[in-house]
Amino acid sequence: MSVSGDRPISLVALGHTEPVVIRPLPLAPDAEPGRRSRGRGPLLHLLARWQAAALDRELAAGVHEQTSAVLALRARKLTSGRRRKHIAAGLSRALRSARYTGPSFTAAVRPRATELISAQPVVTSLASRLRSPEPVTAQGMAMLGALLTDPGSPLYQPTEPGTLASRLRTAAAALRPR
């Protein structure tokens, strides 16, 4: 079941012994999408941060951001200028890391150099797009974030040749608003 649906969430660490059901907060009929509703701000921000990974998976899968207020807030955060710069920097850093062949002392997982270098035109185009003022979608941003942060993504794990470039092109297409 999706995060935006009703499901029990464990709050044992906070002292609760019974499951608590957190229901999505629907958008107020007169509220603008992605804007805070009066009195809900702190709770929405807490939920969006607490459930960020699951909300990002939903957005990447194509769930419409207006399904719930918390999903709308997460979508707004994903498409912010700050997040765009962060993802663009991550793509550029991965490309630099792939080009560097010397030893390094880091706990960071090195990207698959061959795949990343062969996908360089797509990577540089994406980084440039994210740094531009053109609008982007939450779905595309969530897809790129997953590629950079998921240790099982084709950026880090061996896959068929061209898989990384294909996933990057899919994310690039998803970035464009319809």
| d(C-alpha 49, C-alpha 3), whole Å | 12
State pLDDT tens for residues 31-66: 555 554 455 678 888 888 999 999 999 999 999 999
Q: What percent of the chain has pLDDT over 70?
A: 77
pLDDT of 12 strictly over 80: no
| d(C-alpha 77, C-alpha 84), whole Å | 10
Domain ranges for the chain? 27-78, 81-175
Of the listed ranges 43-47, 157-161, 173-177, the least confidently predicted one is: 43-47
| d(C-alpha 32, C-alpha 28), whole Å | 8
Q: pTM score, two decimals?
A: 0.76
State pLDDT tens for residues 103-136: 777 767 778 889 999 999 999 999 999 999 999 9
